[in-house]
Amino acid sequence: MGRAYQHICSGEDPWIALGNFRNAWYGYAKDVRATLVSEPLLAPEQETDHTRRWGAFCAASVEFLCSRYGVPCPQWVDHPRYALATPWYGDIRNTTQKSVQQHLIETTQAPFARRNIFCGNRLYQNKYEMSTWVQEARDQGITDPGQIWH
């Protein structure tokens, strides 16, 4: 995650940098997940709203993924600098609409919401686990594809 954050700070599109991290987490480096998140994020020379927000997002992502996959969560994620003073809805379009904001607030996972980041609950859906989600939904009696997706 530290490498992804460095790339974000140096101007790379955040979703590209995080996508590369996700490929490692879910695919080729899943046997060393703790190593992928062990190092704290290096603060950029010039901190901006952009780097502050994405640092908080990276910390929330680490906490969320560690919890979901039973990986010990590193303590660096609890640093106060990873909590935003004002709500951030990411780069999701139409977030000025109150109904969109409310939906994001209601569906955002706790590690993000605690940091004042509201991004919904679909960020870390993993294509490798899709068949498991479908089966879990069916076991709960959900058969509508749209409901399964949500």
Would you call 94 exposed, middle or buried from its count of C-beta atoms within 10 A (0-12, 13-18, 19+)?
exposed
Q: What is the mean pLDDT of the chain?
A: 88
Tokens coding 114: 């605690």
Q: Total domain count for the chain?
A: 1
User: Is the confidence at residue 91, as pLDDT, over 80?
Assistant: no
Residue 57 near residue 90 (C-beta atoms within 8 A)? yes
Note the pTM of the prediction, 2 decimals.
0.83
Higher-pLDDT residue of 94 and 54 is 54
40-44, 117-121, 131-135: lowest mean pLDDT where? 131-135
User: Is the confidence at residue 131, as pLDDT, over 90?
Assistant: no
Q: Residue range 10-34: average pLDDT?
A: 94
- How far apart are the C-alpha atoms of 38 and 66, rounded to whole Å? 11
Tokens coding 139: 């076991």
Q: What residue numbers bound the domain in which 52 lies?
A: 2-149
Grade residue 135 by pLDDT with cuts at 50, 70 and 90: confident
User: Is the confidence at residue 150, as pLDDT, over 80?
Assistant: no
Q: pLDDT at position 61, please? A: 97
DSSP 40-100: PPPPPSS--HHHHHHHHHHHHHHHHHHHHHTPPPPGGGG-GGGS-SS-B-TT-TTTTSHHH
**Please, what is the Cα angle at 59 between 20 and 44, to 5 degrees?**
80
